[in-house]
Structure 1
Amino acid sequence: MENTSQSTSLKLVAYVELNYLRYLYFAIVFMLYATIIIINAIIIGIVCTDKSLHEPMYIFLINLLINDVVGGTSLCPSILVYLLSNSSEISREYCLVQIFWLYVYGGCEFVMLAVIGYDRHLSICYPLYYNSIMHSRRVSNLIVFSWIFPLSLVSISVTLASQVQLCGNTIENIYCDNYCLNKIACSDMTHIITFDTLLIFLISVPQIFLLLYSYAKILQICLRASRESQKRALSTCMPHLVTLLNYFIGVIFQIIQSRFNLTQVPTVIHSIFSVYFLIIPPLLNPVVYGLKMQQIKLRIIKILMDK
């Protein structure tokens, strides 16, 4: 196999097969990306400008939506450029940049969802002590942790990936991810695979336990509460549960498209699996929270009526 470890470019071969309908795909991705920016900006703007919404729940929501915008922006513009370009080449440096932001987005999203679940647990199980427990310093610390913890781990992973020697230059996707890069590597990957396994463990397992613990406590309280209290708790938790479900669907699609042989699957289906994680959560999250959280919904209605 030809050693291309010194090569400065890789090929995203999926764009070659998407070329025959590239203008249609460009229009679809562009409209979805523009919608992501607009609806997230609306919710972020409402929460930031309305002082009555400056509560921990809404502050955590703002960080989730900012991360959604970062995730969509990290790859959607480059996808649009490649759809209009005759070239499917990508520099190795930019490939690593894509990997970095893809995993920062995914890692931050899950940590933030775990923090929001913990916040819902406190508000439902300890309503009288909620404000004293979730004080401004704790909120700030949780937000900083949600960003810095995944970012630090992913930085180490991408630094290790940058040292890998490559014996190929073909990426069978519309963007780079670590697994695709590992498939064309010819150097020893043991230390990188070990660290990536540790990264997945640290970002997923503690958060899963926190979510399970939070919802076990919420369920325990709801079973002893009145029907009206149960409805209020369900209404409070529903946006978070929908967001969690959507996140896990995106992760499953991401695993399918990167780790399984999809040579028999049409490239457009493969590409849909690839972009689901980048487009659907950022598209759905502000809609779910905007419709389900009464204060935000009332604020949106008031803005529309004033106009």
Structure 2
Amino acid sequence: MDNVSVVRVFILSGINETNNYRTTLLTFTLLYYCVILFFNISIIMIIILDQHLHEPMYILLCSFCINGLYGTTGFYPKFLLDLLSSSQQISYEGCLLQAFVMYSFACCELSILAVMAYDRYLAICRPLHYHFVMTKRRLSQLICFSWLTPFSLFSINVLLTSRLKLCGSNIDRLFCVNWVIVKLTCYDTDTFSNNITAYFTIFIYLAHGLFITWTYMHMIRTCVKSKDDRLKFMQTCVPYLVSLVTFIVAMLFDLMYMRFGSRDLPQSLKNFIAIEFLLISPVLNPLIYGFKLTKIRNRIVGLIYFKR
């Protein structure tokens, strides 16, 4: 078939800058990945094992941490293997899979943040209707939405990319990204379907962003009127806003660089921009929620004193 890529292996050339300090980078990366696993798994297990935490907000936080594990597992094990290897190659199928994981992780993060914003909106702006609206059935539907939406969209994206004819195999990054693979297509290859799907995906997640903005405008307006609501906002919404701002800033830096970035930037800076959302959010999210949410903090403190 003419439209099937003849490229079977990609070269991840972004790692070449690390040749002089690979041992150090390997050590710190392994430790950092272990910290990510420890923090996220700890929050997940605390929520699962404590019946008092089986509430929508904590179940959504559990989903948030699971997504953090999902995304980082798509990057760190392969990156650690690349640091140990003399050649940084990835198979064509493996590259498409990694691109799918990276994109679906990022968009699932935004979908979960949108659902969490809806949950906080109901709790603060419509407290009398909260338990009537946020039932177990509705919560299950929202969690399915937050996972299935990005999975469906990026399954289509990756499927369309797999049909392209490629004329290059060098990826100037530490991991595979769908847009970078599309840029390797031959000049005579039609990428119209890929562009349409990409614009549709952007539209969907812009709508997510507008929805989050709308809910927080209503929450802030409600909290101004009541001291109790202000306290509830500070306890549960500040961690959320920190997660949201951190994630959006990291993603915008990466997207802006991919679309409009200069090739003259140092490779180390380009690498940091590319993996920023995999460095900060997976550690910051369980940390700020663990310390800020009273029930989880009390549970952690109780476990520490119990062990002592």
Task: Compute the TM-score of the two structures, normalised by the length of structure 2.
Answer: 0.95
Cα deviation, residue 231, structure 1: 2.8
Q: d(CA) in 2 for partners of 1:235 and 1:188?
A: 51
Deviation per residue, 1:25-77 (Å, 9 max, x gap): 11222111110000111111111111000000001110011001100001110
Cα deviation, residue 209, structure 1: 2.2
Deviation per residue, 1:67-110 (Å, 9 max, x gap): 01100001110011001100122111111011110111011110
Answer with 249-258 or 95-104: which moved more.
Answer: 249-258
Which residues of 2 match residues 158-169 of structure 1 at below 5 A? 158-169=158-169
Residue in structure 2 matched with residue 121 of structure 1 by the alignment = 121
Cα deviation, residue 234, structure 1: 2.0
Q: d(CA) in 2 for partners of 1:14 and 1:205?
A: 30
CA contact (8 A) 2:48 2:54 kept: yes
Residue in structure 1 matched with residue 225 of structure 2 by the alignment = 224
Given the alignment of the two structures, is residue 70 of structure 1 paired with residue 70 of structure 2, yes or no? yes
CA contact (8 A) 2:5 2:162 kept: no
Indicate the RMSD between aligned Cα atoms, in angstroms.
1.4
Residue in structure 2 matched with residue 207 of structure 1 by the alignment = 208
Could you tell me the percent identity over the aligned residues?
35
Q: d(CA) in 2 for partners of 1:27 and 1:201?
A: 40
Residue identity opposite 2:6 in structure 1: Q
Cα deviation, residue 122, structure 1: 0.4
Cα deviation, residue 236, structure 1: 1.8
Answer with 230-239 or 136-145: which moved more.
Answer: 230-239
Q: d(CA) in 2 for partners of 1:188 and 1:131?
A: 50
Secondary structure of the 1:10 match is strand
Which residues of 2 match residues 18-57 of structure 1 at below 5 A? 18-57=18-57
Secondary structure of the 1:175 match is coil
Task: Compute the TM-score of the two structures, normalised by the length of structure 1.
Answer: 0.95
Deviation per residue, 1:238-293 (Å, 9 max, x gap): 01000001111220232144233443222222111111111211111000100100
How many pairs were matched up? 302
Q: d(CA) in 2 for partners of 1:25 and 1:258?
A: 24
CA contact (8 A) 2:100 2:178 kept: no
Which residues of 2 match residues 1-307 of structure 1 at below 5 A? 5-186=5-186, 187-202=189-204, 204-226=205-227, 228-307=228-307
Secondary structure of the 1:11 match is strand
Deviation per residue, 1:194-239 (Å, 9 max, x gap): 111111211x12211221121111112112213x531332222101
Q: d(CA) in 2 for partners of 1:9 and 1:153?
A: 25
Q: d(CA) in 2 for partners of 1:138 and 1:5?
A: 43
CA contact (8 A) 2:100 2:154 kept: yes
Cα deviation, residue 117, structure 1: 0.5
Q: d(CA) in 1 for partners of 2:232 and 2:156?
A: 43
Secondary structure of the 1:128 match is helix
